[in-house]
Amino acid sequence: MADRKLAFPNPLHHEKELHAIKILVPINGADSGLYPSSLEALKIACEMAHSYRHSEIALVHVSVVPRNKQIPGHSIEGNKLLDYAREIVEKQHVVVGGCMLPARSEGIAHAILGEAKVVNAGLIVIGTSGKDKFNGHQLNPVAKSIMDHSTCEVVLVRSPLT
């Protein structure tokens, strides 16, 4: 990852010296690990964190709870994903924290945006698995809602083409 250069302009680039920011990275996955779009977003967030002196990454995983169930305090699967993501970030020598938030499916974006405010994020880097539709891209509803309602900069990262 150290040899790779960002292939896009940094959205927070200023002529002045870059200042430390908190980068929020929502992650998602399954038993087998992080989804490719989340993993790619995490890698790019680490690269961006190195661009800013003393920047930190805040991980968030939203555990979706069905309507007919009580909202639990934690999820074993969610904690495993957070631990795995923390290891990746720590190997890049970036300060990392993280939390898991329970929410109903329609509240995922709201939970992520709320956490962005809580941690005072200056940037959200989110993976999206938008599918091509007639040579265009269709965003998933969570990514679209975050783009539409975020009070900070947002970078969308698509999973690498296979």
What is the arithmetic mean of pLDDT over 115-120? 95
Identify whether 124 is part of a domain: yes
Cα separation of 47 and 98, whole Å?
18
Cα angle value 95/31/71 (rounded, 5°) = 80
Question: Any idea what the CATH number is for the domain that residue 111 is in?
Answer: 3.40.50.620
pLDDT of residue 131 exceeding 80, the answer is: no
Indicate the pLDDT class of residue 46, thresholds 50, 70 and 90: very high
**Sequence-distant (≥ 6) Cβ neighbours of residue 118 within 8 angstroms:** none
Which residue did the predictor score with more confidence, 109 or 63?
A: 109
* pLDDT of res. 139: 75
- The per-residue pLDDT for range 7-18, each reduced to its tens digit, is 445 555 555 556
Cα separation of 79 and 102, whole Å?
12
Identify whether 13 is part of a domain: no
Identify whether 10 is part of a domain: no
Whole-number Cα distances in Å, 34 to 27, 67, 80:
7, 25, 10
Identify whether 4 is part of a domain: no
Identify whether 5 is part of a domain: no
Identify whether 15 is part of a domain: no
> What phi and psi, each to the nearest 5 degrees, are found at residue 44?
-65, -40
Which residue did the predictor score with more confidence, 6 or 151?
A: 151
Number of domains forming the structure of the chain: 1
Which domain range does residue 52 map to? 22-158
Identify whether 9 is part of a domain: no
* pLDDT of res. 71: 59
Identify whether 116 is part of a domain: yes
